[in-house]
Structure 1
Amino acid sequence: MTEISTTSPGIGMIGAGFHATSNILPAIVLAGIPILALATRDTARSAAALRRFGSSGRPFDSATALLADPGVRDVVIVAQPADQAQLALAAIRAGKNVFIDKPLGCTAAEAQQIATEADSRGVIAMVGFMKRYAPAYRELKALLDEDELGTIRSFELSFGCDSTPFCADDAEYLLLAAIHVVDLVRFLFGEVEVAHTLSSSSGPNVSLAITVRTRAGVVGTLALSGLPSYSSETETLRVSGDQGWAVVNEVSRLTTHLQKPGDVASWRALSEVTTTRAPAESAMSGVERDLQLRGFVGELQAFRDAVDTGVSPSSSARDNVRTMQLWELLAAGARASLAK
């Protein structure tokens, strides 16, 4: 367990691209974390981004300059995937606690190097798997941990988005788009010991059918699509247990169905209980609703809490190594399927 002792006064931000300005920077503000500094490749652009998010922090023209500032101890990195590993290593070697948007590493070996470096330097290194911090999935995780559904036997997960503008093939799709649900499987059901991947993809048009079995004996299917027809992202997870089932729809709605044991036949009594938990629909929420429900605010709050307490979060760099190992297994299965 990583231990640090002092309280974080705020963060330095590396990156101000679309994802950073649409999701991460607004979530930092909503999490109540001061933005002390921001770095892009241009000081004027950095200053403009700081002003946009109400910060009077220091603008920098490079990540190197920001990391050299002793007044910045905690760093959030949202850069191009190919750049993030080296930026993360530079931040860790500068003694910074670091939050890195996924993917942290483009191979399991690269992820392992970063995790080892963070451990040796005694800093917090967290990966932005925001679905772990989405309220619906956190409530589902609590149900599973408390055995509310009985022994979990299986799950069915479907995810679709139009990844064709930024993913060239199955491996890129699994790394840059579907990695969130790949990680979610580990978070909810434990480590995967067997996986079979079938692909009918053609270049950037991705369609995958995956079956898995976890170490705990849970079997599951993942239907993953990266196609232009999914211009509206869609996601559904169904979990089946001996005493009940649960469904999370579009990240924001959790339905549970419980079969209450009794002394008489189930059809003679009110033995079935179905409950749906959903957020209120209101114009008052503004942009905050989406950032809260998808887990962006929660993951930044978790980073702040990890820094303040010195306790590594669940989506640590060390844990990320196993997600990257699973990604490599699934990507290899997709390549083998297409080769047949």
Structure 2
Amino acid sequence: MNPIKLCFIGAGFHASTNIYPSAIEAGAIIQGIATRSLERSQAALLRFGSIGQAYDNVHLMLEHEDCDGVVVVAQPQDQVTLAMECIRAGKNVYVDKPLGWNAAEAKMVSDAAEQAGVVLMVGFMKRYAPVYLKLKELIDGGTLGKVRSFQVRFAVDSTPFCKDEEQFIKLAAIHMVDLMRFLFGDMVKVTGTTVRDGEHINQGISFVFEQGIVGSAYFAGMSAWSRESEHVLVTFDNGFASADEVTKLTIHSSQTFDNLPWKSLAEQDIVYTPSAYPMSGTHRDLYLRGFVGEMVHFSECCRDHSLPHSSGQDNIKTMALCDAILSALA
């Protein structure tokens, strides 16, 4: 099977740290790179060992390169324009979140991709993280019964790049917002409370999702959280599951006992963790956070012309939920 050939728009810190290495690990070939500077594009090609073509003009790259897909990792305010240019050029396109600042913009891009007959995928890497894929498998499999409730925690120092609550929800917490939809379906009701002191944000949010699933989320954007942290706890009919920091999933199955369980070592949990291997380098983090998984999935969708899990159409609902949360916090 021939490797997928991808062109890239953007070569900033996030793209260079996470997306380019993950695309290479997924087996893709970097065919071309476009940034605002020809020298910067050439440097990115050299850094990632590509003999592809450097551009300082997106239009020229889209016109000259016959690639399987385009990966857009630019500034949020530029992403809709760049995605639309790729779509008009007839290219399959992956766009880092957020794609559209609201549901209306998200729908405009999604509709354009559908009319053009191209693949449109949005970069919600948590859907492809092993810990959450295993949790999703547990939910869908029903081995612990029905999901009843959940708790989500996400905390990060967002002060350098989020100046208000809308930016915080749509640039930082949006990954957890999309993850809740991925795990529990569509939201039915949302209420919330927020306390903001300058760029320091604390939010407590309550949800009702489909099938009567209730849950709560604590989102914090404060300099205290220089170590980004996330946790998802799901309660089922017959047990619970706890996902910690994308590196550990603990599954507890409730049991019945002939004798009092505290008299012996009768309770048991199943714990999933990755192995610790000194030769893994940074690839371990890229796999566990879902970056490699989403690049593999985008490559497969380009090859098969199939609908991505985090499609442009699905992205409309995630942006709508972001707006619903902000309205509830207002």
TM range (shorter): over 0.9
TM-score computed with the length of structure 2 as normaliser: 0.96
- Alpha-carbon displacement from aligned partner over 1:150-192 (angstroms, at most 9, x marks no partner): 1111000000000000001111100000000000000000101
2:309 matched to 1:309?
Answer: no
Contact 1:11–1:34 (CA under 8 A) maintained in structure 2: yes
Show the counterpart of 2:61: 66
Stretch of structure 1 that moved more, 221-230 or 141-150: 141-150
Query: 1:333 Cα deviation (Å)?
Result: 1.8
Show the counterpart of 2:181: 186
Q: 1:7 to 1:325 in 2, by over 3 A?
A: farther
Contact 2:128–2:293 (CA under 8 A) maintained in structure 1: yes
2:210 matched to 1:215?
Answer: yes
Show the counterpart of 1:277: 272
Alpha-carbon distance in structure 2 between the residues aligned to 1:7 and 1:331: 45
Contact 1:169–1:202 (CA under 8 A) maintained in structure 2: no
Query: 1:64 Cα deviation (Å)?
Result: 1.5
Question: Tell me, which stretches of 5 or more residues in structure 2 are unaligned?
Answer: none
Show the counterpart of 1:234: 229
Alignment of 1:285-324 (within 5 A): 285-324=280-319
2:136 matched to 1:171?
Answer: no
Show the counterpart of 2:194: 199
Query: 1:215 Cα deviation (Å)?
Result: 1.6
Q: For 1:285, what is the secondary structure of its paired residue?
A: coil
User: Among residues 322, 325, 329, which one is paired with 1:327 in the alignment?
Assistant: 322
Alpha-carbon distance in structure 2 between the residues aligned to 1:229 and 1:84: 30
Show the counterpart of 2:77: 82
Alpha-carbon distance in structure 2 between the residues aligned to 1:70 and 1:57: 10
Contact 1:260–1:271 (CA under 8 A) maintained in structure 2: no
Matched length: 329
2:103 matched to 1:108?
Answer: yes
Alpha-carbon distance in structure 1 between the residues aligned to 2:40 and 2:65: 22
TM-score computed with the length of structure 1 as normaliser: 0.93
Alpha-carbon distance in structure 2 between the residues aligned to 1:317 and 1:271: 47
Alpha-carbon distance in structure 2 between the residues aligned to 1:246 and 1:22: 31
2:142 matched to 1:150?
Answer: no
Name the amino acid aligned to 1:57: G
- Alpha-carbon displacement from aligned partner over 1:84-134 (angstroms, at most 9, x marks no partner): 011001101110000000000011100000110111111100000000000
Q: 1:17 to 1:132 in 2, by over 3 A?
A: same
2:90 matched to 1:95?
Answer: yes
Show the counterpart of 1:244: 239
Alpha-carbon distance in structure 1 between the residues aligned to 2:284 and 2:158: 24
Stretch of structure 1 that moved more, 68-77 or 290-299: 68-77
Contact 2:298–2:308 (CA under 8 A) maintained in structure 1: yes
Alpha-carbon distance in structure 2 between the residues aligned to 1:55 and 1:211: 47
Question: Tell me, which stretches of 5 or more residues in structure 1 are unaligned?
Answer: 1-5
Alpha-carbon distance in structure 1 between the residues aligned to 2:295 and 2:202: 32
Show the counterpart of 2:50: 55
CA RMSD after TM alignment: 1.6
Alpha-carbon distance in structure 2 between the residues aligned to 1:280 and 1:57: 35
Contact 1:7–1:307 (CA under 8 A) maintained in structure 2: no
Name the amino acid aligned to 1:195: V
